[in-house]
Amino acid sequence: MLNSKRSKIRWSFFVFFIPVFLWLMFLFVLPNLELLRMSFMGSRFLGERGFTLGNYTSFFLEPIYWLTFVRTIGFSLLVTFIVLLIALPVAFYITKVTKLKLKGLLMTLIMVPFWVSEVVRVYGLILLLRESGVINRILLAFGLWEKPIEMLYNDASMVLGLVYTTLLFMLVPIIGVMDSLDDALIEAAYDLGAKKVVIWWKIIVPHSVPGIMSGCIVVFMLVIGNFITPALMGGKYSSWFTQIIYNDFIAHMNWNRGAAFGFLLLIISSLVIWAGMKITGQKISTVVK
């Protein structure tokens, strides 16, 4: 009796485990192991064949690579920070200020743009911002300026695009934690003499830290690994590290160095997240929740 129950549990465990295992093994672990092996191999066209660290050392020896990388990380942090600054008051408004009915509507309004692909959304922004775009035409019609201004293809437009395309991924986890904040806590702080700034800084933000951290990690990872938005909205000087990887794979046919750069991106962005969690004193288990 007891035995049969135990074996049943084991069977159900395997039923669920095997697909997951196969999925991860063939679509994640094996390809990445192959890429890892390739990243230590010489290219067919350049340099020696066989085992080499050259793919990795070239990253540090060529300033264009690591400068682009530093730029990418810097802008990713900036975008994450801006998204956070926008998401906090918006999440607060949706969870604590609006009535229940309106809450559903506002959530839907936030979700709707994400039903279309990122490319379409970015082209939507381009339609607004470009030289012959909607904003320029309106401002010209009102005579606010005489010549159309090019608002695209610079760092600012790229940041705008990245903020726009990732905002949802910050809002959802923060709305989640703010929902769980008891209104009475805010009232209690108010009752004990706190001003609004203090309530934000001492009550709302500390309570929301798990959601803020998971939102920041997701947004940072999405931004640093983004390809299409910097490519479409950034200028010719706004190069993104993923573009370098892309060029290695596609333009230079140098899969070995592309793989090496891919791993560098993974390692260093993981380090940034780890450092961020250390500084804010968060554990991965609470953030993932």
Partner 1 sequence: MRIALSVKNITKKFGDFPAVNNVSFDVEDGKFFSILGPSGCGKTTLLRMMAGFYEPTSGSIEIRGQDMIGVEPNRRPVNLIFQHLALFTMMDVKENIAFGLKRKGERGKKVYKKVEAMLERVGLSGYADYKIQQLSGGQQQRVAIARCLVLDPSVLLLDEPLGALDLKLREHMKIELKQLQHQVGTTFVYVTHDQSEAMVMSDYVAVMNKGQFEQIDTPQNLYYHPSCSFVAQFVGENNKFVGTLKKESSGNFSVVLENGKTLQTGMISSLAPGERIELFVRPEAIFINQKQEKSTNLLYGEVKEVLFEGGNRRLLVVVEGSSQEVIVALPKNKVYDMIKVRDSIKIGWDPAESVCFKETGVKTYVEL
In the complex, the residues that contact partner 1 under the rule CB under 8 A are: 182, 184-185, 187-195, 198, 202-203, 206-207
Q: Which residue is it, tokens 């293809």?
A: 153
Q: Which is nearer to partner 1, 194 or 228 (CB)?
A: 194
Compute CA distances 13 → 2, 18, 20, 98, whole Å. 17, 9, 11, 44
State the minimum distance, in angstroms, from the CB of residue 91 to partner 1: 17
- Which token pair is 59? 């990253």
CA nearest to 173, candidates 280, 284, 91: 91
State the minimum distance, in angstroms, from the CB of residue 100 to partner 1: 17
Please report the beta strands in the chain, taking only residues with DSSP state E, as ranges in sequence order: none
State the minimum distance, in angstroms, from the CB of residue 181 to partner 1: 10
State the minimum distance, in angstroms, from the CB of residue 209 to partner 1: 8
Q: Which residue is it, tokens 């934000």?
A: 200
Compute CA distances 278 → 41, 150, 205, 232, 275, whole Å. 35, 42, 17, 35, 5
Q: Which is nearer to partner 1, 146 or 191 (CB)?
A: 191
∠ CA 194-197-201, nearest 5°, is: 95
Contact predicate 174/211, CB 8 Å: yes
Q: Which is nearer to partner 1, 15 or 279 (CB)?
A: 279
Q: Which is nearer to partner 1, 157 or 214 (CB)?
A: 214
State the minimum distance, in angstroms, from the CB of residue 182 to partner 1: 6
Compute CA distances 248 → 129, 238, 275, whole Å. 31, 18, 29
State the minimum distance, in angstroms, from the CB of residue 212 to partner 1: 13
